[in-house]
Chains A and B, each alone.
Chain A
Amino acid sequence: MKKIIFILLLSTLSWNSAYALITVDITRGNLDPLPIAVSPLHVDSESEKITSFEISTLGEEISKIVEKNFKSTGLFNPLKKDSFVQKPDIAHLKPRFEDWRLIKAQALVTGKLLIKNNKLKVEFRLWDLTAAKEMVALSFTTTPNNWRRVAHIISDKIYERLTGESGYFDTRIAYVSETGPKNQRVKKLALMDQDGFNTKYLTLGNELVLTPRFNPTNQLVTYLSYFKNMPRVYLLDIETGIQEVVGNFPGMTFAPRFSPDGKKIIMSFAKDGNSDIYSMDLETRVVEQITKHPSIDTSPSYSPDGKYITFNSDRSGLQQIYVMRSDGTQVKRITHGSGLYGTPVWSPRGDLIAFTKVRKGRFYIGVMRSDGTGERLLTENFYQEAPSWSPNGRVLIFYRETKSDSKGKGFSAKLWSIDITGYNERRLKTETDASDPSWSSLLSK
C-alpha cells in the first residue's frame, strides 16, 4: 500500500457560530434521522481521461459512497436524487435554499472535482438549508486511484461537523476470512475498507491464523499464526509483507494487542496448563510478566492512556473481567452479574469497556463503565463475540456465528456492527465468511 498524502485545506469562509446551526445528537438512538441531500459532485469538463476508470460518472459514484456511509450511521436519511432540483455545478456555487427545502432536505452536500496532471482535486461544501448558510468548505488533492477514500473523507468531515464527533469512514477493518467446511476451516488474514471494498488477503491460508489487531498507525497487524504447527503471536508489516514472531517463548502465545502508543504488544503466554499475561517492548525486546496466577488470564486490552489493563480470568472459578494497573498491581474484578464475561476491550474514549457475555446459552455484546457499573447489553444471539471499537468510540464491530445441523451445514460467520446506543445493528458485507474483526483508527487525521 502506497503512502498517500492528502492535502487538506480548510477554506477561510467564515461561519458565525451565533446562528443556531443544525446538529445531530448521537448520544441516543436516533429515530428521526436528518434528511440530507448529497448532490453528485460536478466533474470539471477540463478533466483528463484516466484509463483505469470512467471519469464522467466519478462525481456520481463519490456521492453514492457518501450517501451509503451516511445511511449506515442510522443518523442521516439521504434523499433520493431524482427529486433534486439544481444542477450539481450550480448548486455548488450557491444553492437555491428554498428549492432544496421544498424536498424536505435540511442539509445539502455539493462538490466538484477535477483531474489534472494525474492529480484528483476535490472540493466540497456542506450547507445548512434552514439557516441558509455554508457550514463546511474543504478542498483536497490526491491520486485519482484514491477516489473511494475521497468519498470517505468527505463523509468524515460532514459527520464531524454535524455531530461534533470525529468520523469513522476513512478506516479499514482487518479480519479473518473463512472458507470451507466447519471442521476444516481455511482461515486467512484479510483487510478491507470499512464499507467492504478493496479486500486484500494478507496470508494464503496454508496455516491457521486468528485474532488480527491493528497498531495505532495502522501499518502493522499483530495476530496468532499456527505456522509450522507452533501457535505464536506474529507481527506483520502490511506495506512490506514482512512477518516475524513476537518474542522467544517456549510455548503458545496468543491474544495479542498493541499498547496505545504502539510500542508494546500485550498477550497471553501458556505454559504447563497456565496462561498468564505478558508484554513485550517491540524496540528493546524486553519481556515483562504482568499476571502471575494459576488460572487462565487472557484477552488483555490497555486503557487509552496506557495506565490500566482489562482482561478476563477464571480465577474466581468462572470467566470474569478484571482491571489492573499496567504493571500488574491492584487487580480488581469488575463483573459480578450472572453469567460469564470475556473479551474486554477498552473504548478509545476511555469511558467504556465492551465485552462478550454468556448467559443461559446465549451470547451478548455489551458495554459497561470501566469500574463495571452501568452494564448495558446491546445485542443477543446464538453465538457472537470479539467486539472492536470504531475510532470515535460510538460503534462496535463483532462477529456472529450461526447454528449448524448434525452435518455441520448451516454454519456461517459474519461481521456485524451496532451503535453503543443499542440501535442500528447491521451486517457488514465481506467477500467470504469472516470473524475476529479489528477496526483501524482514522487513516487521515
Chain B
Amino acid sequence: MKFNKAIKNLFIVLFSTLLISACSTAKKANVDTVDDVYTGTDTVEFLAKGVPDRIFFATNKSKLTTASRDTLRKQATWMRKNKDVTVTVEGHADERGTREYNLALGERRANAAKDYLMTYGVSGKRISVISYGKERPVNPASSPLAWSQNRRSVTVKAN
C-alpha cells in the first residue's frame, strides 16, 4: 500500500512538473497543488543556490512528500558543507484549524523536517524547531492556494 502510494506520489510529482514546464509560458493553469500539497515556486526562498528553504504539507498532515524529501536532502547537503551554520525549522499551519491544534501540528511538521535532516547527517544540535501554528501566514488570502502555501515548514539560518 505504502509503496503504491509512493509510486503514485512520484508519478503525480513528475506529471505536475511536466505540466508546470509545459504551462510556464502559456496561461498558468491551476496545477499548483497536487494531492492538497503545494507544488509551485511562489513564496519559496533559497538558503543557497538550488537549495529551497521550505517544504509543503497536506491539510492536517505532517507526512513528507517526495518533493519535500528532495528539498530536505538538498538542505542537508548544504548544511554538511557549511558546518558552522545552525538553523531553525519553523512549522506552520493554515488558518482552517483550531489555534491550539495548529500549534501542535506546526511543531509536528517542523520535527518531521528536522528528523529527515538528521537522517541525512546533520546533527540535531544544529537544528532548533519552533511552531507558529497559524499565526504567521506567508499568504494572507483565504483561498485553497494560500492555505496550501501556508502549510509549510521553513528552514531559516539561525546564525
Contacts and interface: CB of A to CB of B under 8 A. Distances in A.
Interface of A: 181-183, 185, 208, 210-211, 224, 229, 231, 252, 254-255, 268, 270, 272-275, 296, 298-299, 312, 314, 318-319, 340, 342-343, 356, 358, 361, 382-383, 385-386, 401, 403-408, 411, 435-436
| Residue from B97, B103, B110, B137 with most neighbouring chain A CB atoms (10 Å) | B103
| Residue from B62, B97, B130, B141 with most neighbouring chain A CB atoms (10 Å) | B141
A296 to B, nearest CB: 4
A210 B139 CA distance: 21
B131 A383 contact: no
Contacts of B107: 252, 270, 273, 275
Nearest to A385: B98
B135 interface: yes
A403 B112 CA distance: 30
A268 B133 CA distance: 14
Q: Which 9 A-B pairs have the closest CB atoms?
A: A408-B140, A273-B111, A182-B140, A275-B104, A342-B98, A403-B142, A296-B104, A255-B100, A270-B107
Contact of A404 (B100, B105, B141): B141
A298 B143 contact: no
Given A182-B137, A273-B112, A254 B100 contact: yes
B70 interface: no
A428 B37 CA distance: 37
B46 interface: no
Given A183-B136, A229-B130, A211 B141 contact: no
B131 A298 contact: no
A401 to B, nearest CB: 7
A185 B143 CA distance: 19
Nearest to A311: B100
B95 A254 contact: no
B60 A314 contact: yes
Nearest to B107: A270
Contacts of B115: 273
Nearest to B150: A183
A255 B60 CA distance: 18
B60 A319 contact: yes
A404 B134 CA distance: 15
Contacts of A314: 60, 101
B44 to A, nearest CB: 16
A127 B139 CA distance: 58
Contacts of A411: 140, 142
B103 A343 contact: no
Interface residues of B, number: 31
A386 B98 contact: yes
Given A210-B99, A319-B101, A361-B96, A406 B130 contact: no
Nearest to A382: B142
Interface string B100-129: 110111011011100100000000000000
Given A252-B103, A436-B99, 13 more contacts: A182-B140, A183-B136, A211-B100, A254-B103, A268-B100, A268-B104, A296-B104, A299-B98, A342-B97, A342-B100, A385-B98, A404-B142, A408-B139
A358 B108 contact: no
Contacts of B103: 210, 224, 231, 252, 254-255, 270, 298
B138 interface: yes
Contacts of B111: 272-273
Given A231-B130, A270-B104, A405 B99 contact: no
A268 B62 CA distance: 19
A401 B60 contact: no
Contacts of A318: 60
A54 B60 CA distance: 56
A185 B135 contact: yes
A126 B54 CA distance: 65
B141 A252 contact: no
Nearest to A410: B142
Contacts of A343: 98, 100
Contacts of A270: 103-104, 107-108, 131
Given A270-B131, A318-B60, A298 B142 contact: no
Given A252-B130, A273-B107, A401-B95, A298 B101 contact: yes
Contacts of B105: 296
Contacts of B139: 183, 408
Given A314-B60, A406-B143, A183 B101 contact: no
Given A229-B130, A270-B131, A383-B96, A408 B141 contact: yes
| Residue from B98, B110, B139, B142 with most neighbouring chain A CB atoms (10 Å) | B98
Contacts of B62: 273
A110 B19 CA distance: 76
A2 B110 CA distance: 45
A252 B142 contact: no
A181 B146 CA distance: 15
B108 A296 contact: yes
B143 to A, nearest CB: 7
Contacts of A208: 132, 135
Contacts of B143: 406
